């Protein structure tokens, strides 16, 4: 019912881009996980950035998994994965510095990050209910349900739109501190930039997928009231 020509033309290319972006970030991280940082571990890099910004109260913890690194503003904790926390590699420093960048954003009240946190509950609600509402509305020809589903899904696209500058800004902060504190040699800084650029592409792709899905839904169901 939802799979039609517009899905194939609009959404499928975006999904392929998202798959490529995920492959790119994994392969780039793997490549630079084999390049030494000169002794600086992921934990040490994150700690240096936090201390340089007066964030001595932010803790750093190890977490299981691969690329499960994140900053939790609720507990004020940076969690670094096994391949980042104690690894003295260019990839580890880049990823850890990025998460420290999020902690700095939170501390200084970076507006897009505050907006993302504010709309997160609505986004979670919308991502769970939008498609069921659209399907039920389409099956039983209940246009208000379809429109409500599309409106809820638009919150997902909005969340991805707000997320993109948050992630790009965190990477920018990370690269500036890496260079300013000489956490990596010149070649290592270039490698860290490649790791963070590859990661940024996953957010670009996620935004494109959500926008194309929203456009597909509008094209597929937007004219239902007029047709009725």
Q: Which residues are catalytic?
A: 99
Q: Is 75 exposed, middle or buried (0-12, 13-18, 19+ CB in 10 A)?
A: exposed
Angle subtended at Cα 149 by Cα 7 and Cα 12, rounded to the nearest 5 degrees: 15
CA-CA-CA-CA dihedral for 165, 43, 187, 52, to nearest 10: 70
Angle subtended at Cα 96 by Cα 93 and Cα 97, rounded to the nearest 5 degrees: 80
Distance CA 133, CA 145 (A): 6
**Three-class DSSP category at 78:** strand
Buried b (16+ CB within 10 A) or exposed e, 172-208: ebbbebbeeeebbeeebbebbbbbbbbbbbbbbbbbb
């Amino acid at each position: 019912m939802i799979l039609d020509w517009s899905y194939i033309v609009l959404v499928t290319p975006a999904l392929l881009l998202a798959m490529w972006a995920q492959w790119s970030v994994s392969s780039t991280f793997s490549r630079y996980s084999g390049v030494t940082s000169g002794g600086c571990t992921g934990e040490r890099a994150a700690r240096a950035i936090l201390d340089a910004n007066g964030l001595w109260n932010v803790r750093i913890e190890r977490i299981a998994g691969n690329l499960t690194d994140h900053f939790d503003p609720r507990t004020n904790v940076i969690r670094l994965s096994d391949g980042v926390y104690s690894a003295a590699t260019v990839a580890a420093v880049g990823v850890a510095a990025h998460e420290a960048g999020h902690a700095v954003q939170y501390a200084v009240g970076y507006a897009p990050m505050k907006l993302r946190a504010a709309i997160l509950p609505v986004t979670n609600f919308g991502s769970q209910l939008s498609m069921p509402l659209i399907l039920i509305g389409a099956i039983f020809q209940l246009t208000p349900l379809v429109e409500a589903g599309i409106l809820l899904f638009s919150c997902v696209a909005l969340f991805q739109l707000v997320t993109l500058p948050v992630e790009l800004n965190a990477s920018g902060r990370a690269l500036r501190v890496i260079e300013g504190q000489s956490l990596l040699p010149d070649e290592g800084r270039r490698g860290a930039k490649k790791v963070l650029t590859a990661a940024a592409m996953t957010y670009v792709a996620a935004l494109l997928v959500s926008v194309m899905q929203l456009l597909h839904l509008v094209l597929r169901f937007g004219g239902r009231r007029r047709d009725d």
